[in-house]
Structure 1
Amino acid sequence: MSHKKIFKNTLALYLRQIIIILITLYSMRVILIELGVEDYGIYSVVTGFVTLLAFLPGSMASATQRFFAFAMGKQDPERLQQTFSVNLVMYIAIALLAYTLLQTVGLWYVGEHLKMPDERASAALALYHYASLSFVFSIFTAPFIAILIAHEDMHLYAMISVVDAVLKLAAAISLAYVSYDLLVYYGIALLAVSVVIACAYVAICLKRYAECQLRKLYWSSRLLKEIWSFTAWTLLGQISTVFRNQAVTVLVNQMFNPATVAARAIALSVAGQVAVFSNNLNTGLYPPIIKSYAANQRDEMAGLVFNGSKLTFFLMWMFALPIMLEMETILRIWLETPPPEAVLFTRLAIVESLIMALSMPLATAARAPGRMALYETVLGSIQIAIFFMSWWVLSLGYAAESVFYVAILANLLMFKIRLLLVHRLTRLSVKGFYQKVVMPVLAVLVISAGISYALFYFATESLLKSALTVIFSMTFSVLAMYFLGLDKFWRKKVLGVLVNKVSKIRWA
């Protein structure tokens, strides 16, 4: 497995995410200003309710990527063609099912039970219809994204993602020039963006990959049964993920005011954008981990999981630390008047995401054997329990941030259990993971956070202090990662790459 290709793919995804984060953060600022806090809260809860069905394409995407990568690892073109045909039919069926559910049960719930001002009810329903159609297009696009990632053509994925973000930014900016109801207009604009992006993915895959041709259906009932068995168990994991995010948002909507809902939406969005830096590396690692397992290269797979787990955490931590320290200043500059709870909510959401970042390559390794029953049953049950624990805690009168504390504790428990389950499925060494991943990560976290917080605490409040906090905290993080987080082999490898780059610049 080429580490150079993984590095190039990660770099492409990394650059993609830097651009997307800048665009997305500015877009959120524009949307919040133009819609106002109340309409932004309505937008968040309505679109969040639509994505309650995100477990459908999410489960299929996991299965699709796993079976595509497995077929490539086995070097079996016939199985690859069958995998694409079977998945395309399944995605079309899922898109029809999702739209039916959204326009029946979902429409009833939004119209009758979501908490919103009466005068905005019709606009919220119109937004719901357009968001539902956008969601259907995202389902249909998912198998084409999966095959592109399985081929490890991350530069194409990165390019289309940036175009998607730019078009959404254009839609947000246009809010200032529209006299039509802004909630309804923004729903129409996002639907148009979804259609354009779906067409781009389909056109590229049809042109580049032989298995994506639509002239003949390469059907396999045996493969359908195999994929569906894998997907059925993965569904539980995706449903449980919905309960830990969107269903809790709906719960907060029922018990608190729209400003609190907006604060939670902002927190999840910021944490999600920071987490995507580590998600990008895991996206690049997904195909090689599955392929190495399919080729029976277990030592190669273990190395990818160990190093991938450290690096996914490090890539997120480098940005998470300065953001958490200067969260109040960042939100004030970004949003001008953020909701009161946004600072605390966002810090807690980032902590939750950091724990998840360490587990991402483990989750990929768990999918490699294709035996998901025990894994998804155990972890899915814990995630579903997050919703009920949150409901219980809030019903006792605790503040809205208590739902984040519940999720953080659950994440710690799931990390431990996930590691034990992966050991059972793939024989990955638990002791090796703690020695090579957990201990270096804790050393980096304690040293970099301790020094950075000391500087932050004693420095005089000012914009200069904020800038220096960001610079020094990122510097301390990088130094701690290099000296404490990397072993001798990787330190030598990183140093060699840096020396090589400097030499090229010097003699250019």
Structure 2
Amino acid sequence: MALVILVGLYSSRVVLNALGVEDYGIYNVAGSVVAMFAFLNGALGGSSSRFITIELGKGSENALSGLMRCFVTTKTIHGITALVIVIIAESIGLWLLYNKCEIPTERMNAALWVYQISVATAVLSITLVPFQALIIAHEHMAVYAYIGIIDAVLKLFICYLIQVSLIDKLIFYALMIFVVQFLLYLFNRMYCKLHFKECVAGYTFNKEYFKPILGFTGWNLLGSFSYMAITHAATVMISIFFGPTLVTARAISGQVKNHVINFIINFRTAVNPQILKRYASGEVESSKSLLFLSTNVSFYLMLVITLPLLFETELVLKLWLKIVPPYTVEFLRITLLEVLFIVYDVSFYMIFQATGRLKENALICPAMDIVAFAIVFVIYQIGGSVLSIAWALLMLTIVQGMIVKPWLAVCFHGYKWKEFISIFVRNGVVLFCSLIFPLPIVYFCGDTLFSSFLIVLTSVVSVLVLAYLFGFDKATQKSFNVIVTTFVNKIVRK
């Protein structure tokens, strides 16, 4: 995960420098038009992974037969989804690209090529999901990690190729991203075919799974749609009101956000199947304990990453990018606060995934997202700050993760407020105390490389030490001590 983040951030820098601020903004606008409709992919992906994992967790005598029917049904649903996205993208999406996006006339042809290639890339990513769901459900996490590393390395190779490309760099970059996606699709498909008996050919509708998956997906879809509306549509909206340059500023913060969030999502990908399997096998309390423990660990992992970046945002951007567009520092700092609290939103959503009851969350959160999006649109209409969308996302993340989801879990899923409050208090204490040690260095040591090094070191060490002292209960501390002692003994014996 660390390697993927570093390679991804470096790749973003090289791509920005190779394309230039305007073309990089155009790429994100054209890609966002497609991503607006690819929200279907996220909804179906969550459903596929959930049902396959639950089927594995049941451990029934007819498990293989059930898995086969479930897998083939998910493939069929994803195939239909890919077709729907192509139809929408080639009609509504093209209209948006031609009529609503502020793209310079001389670059419209390149933007159109990028858009069409992005549609093909989106189709590949959709049809890939059932195979990824199999790998995750079976907890083959080493392979999952290798796939992520291969993806990062190939994109790093693209950074070299883009600088020596003989054709339009913008079109070439989009084409290479498609090639990488195609290679990943082939690898995932071949691996699943070789290792999982339930990975069978063909497309069919199985009523036993089709209706539940489609019903589950329907509610999941609302959540994905609202997230799309407030993020990807926001990119188009910034293009309309402010032009490609400020799209680039937000896109850079979005790149950091995606890489940091992927760090936590990958961590949760390793633990989520166990939460679902324990719930499916009737071990409800064990499932709950693992959910809260993983939430705690996720928050501290995120704090270790975001706290140094918050203090040293300007320095990091200067070292990372040769070109720092206006508002990039501001966008990134607000975004870092958002990703810190998004841990609660992502983690607590597993409560609804496990029980299969998504209705209430799928109605409340999207309604809040759409209202916030409408408010930001009005603010932009009257000449408000481009940062309004970033502040809106931050507030939505805090409210939905720390109030809405816990409240729903207490009302409908058998949880207690004290369980959530305990997590929030522990995390809050670690967060507050972690700020105490770096702040004197920030204010009294000046703006030098040495002081920046001290700030980063102090931030990381303070989070780790304070998380150990105050972030976990005594039982978890004892378990941690045993793990560390065992690891040290192995090293000493070697």
TM-score exceeds 0.5: yes
1:209 corresponding residue in structure 2: 196
Whether 1:72 aligns to 2:59 is: no
Q: CA distance change for structure 1 residues 426 and 292 in 2, over 3 Å: closer, same or farther?
A: farther
1:5 corresponding residue in structure 2: none
Residue type matched to 1:193 in 2? Answer: V
Q: Specify the SS of the correspondent of 1:212.
A: coil
CA deviation map 1:53-85 (0-9, x unaligned) = 221110011111110111111114122211101
Residue type matched to 1:123 in 2? Answer: A
- Alpha-carbon distance, 1:405 to partner: 1.3
- Alpha-carbon distance, 1:471 to partner: 1.1
Contact 1:69 1:291 (8 Å CA) reproduced:
yes
Whether 1:40 aligns to 2:43 is: no
- Root mean square deviation, CA, Å: 1.4
Gaps of 5+ in 1: 1-16
2:426 corresponding residue in structure 1: 440
Paired residue for 1:134, among 121, 124, 127?
A: 121
Q: Specify the SS of the correspondent of 2:383.
A: coil
1:3 corresponding residue in structure 2: none
Residue type matched to 2:53 in 1? Answer: A
Q: Specify the SS of the correspondent of 1:440.
A: helix
Distance 1:155 1:386 in 2: 40
Distance 1:268 1:31 in 2: 14
Paired residue for 1:254, among 240, 250, 253?
A: 240
CA deviation map 1:23-48 (0-9, x unaligned) = 11111111111100111111111112
Paired residue for 1:194, among 177, 181, 192?
A: 181
- Alpha-carbon distance, 1:313 to partner: 0.9
Please list, as runs of the form range in 1=range in 2, the aligned pairs for 1:258-269 lying within 5 A after superposition: 258-269=244-255
Contact 1:73 1:295 (8 Å CA) reproduced:
yes
2:368 corresponding residue in structure 1: 382
Report the count of equivalent residues: 490
Contact 1:290 1:365 (8 Å CA) reproduced:
no
State which drifts further: 117-126 or 403-412: 403-412
Please list, as runs of the form range in 1=range in 2, the aligned pairs for 1:162-201 lying within 5 A after superposition: 162-201=149-188
1:290 corresponding residue in structure 2: 276
- Alpha-carbon distance, 1:395 to partner: 2.2
Please list, as runs of the form range in 1=range in 2, the aligned pairs for 1:89-128 lying within 5 A after superposition: 89-128=76-115
CA deviation map 1:276-301 (0-9, x unaligned) = 22222211222111111111211101
1:244 corresponding residue in structure 2: 230
Distance 1:277 1:338 in 2: 24
State which drifts further: 133-142 or 268-277: 268-277
Paired residue for 1:493, among 479, 485, 491?
A: 479
Normalised to the residue count of structure 1, the TM-score between the two structures is 0.94
Distance 1:455 1:253 in 2: 39
2:137 corresponding residue in structure 1: 150
Residue type matched to 1:198 in 2? Answer: Y
Normalised to the residue count of structure 2, the TM-score between the two structures is 0.97
- Alpha-carbon distance, 1:217 to partner: 6.0
Q: Specify the SS of the correspondent of 2:279.
A: helix
Contact 2:72 2:200 (8 Å CA) reproduced:
no
Paired residue for 1:51, among 35, 50, 53?
A: 35
Distance 2:117 2:28 in 1: 14
Between the two proteins, what is the percent identity of the paired residues? 29
Residue type matched to 1:114 in 2? Answer: C
Q: CA distance change for structure 1 residues 218 and 182 in 2, over 3 Å: closer, same or farther?
A: closer
2:13 corresponding residue in structure 1: 29
Contact 2:76 2:203 (8 Å CA) reproduced:
no
Q: CA distance change for structure 1 residues 451 and 85 in 2, over 3 Å: closer, same or farther?
A: same
- Alpha-carbon distance, 1:393 to partner: 2.1
Distance 1:505 1:291 in 2: 33
Distance 1:332 1:370 in 2: 46
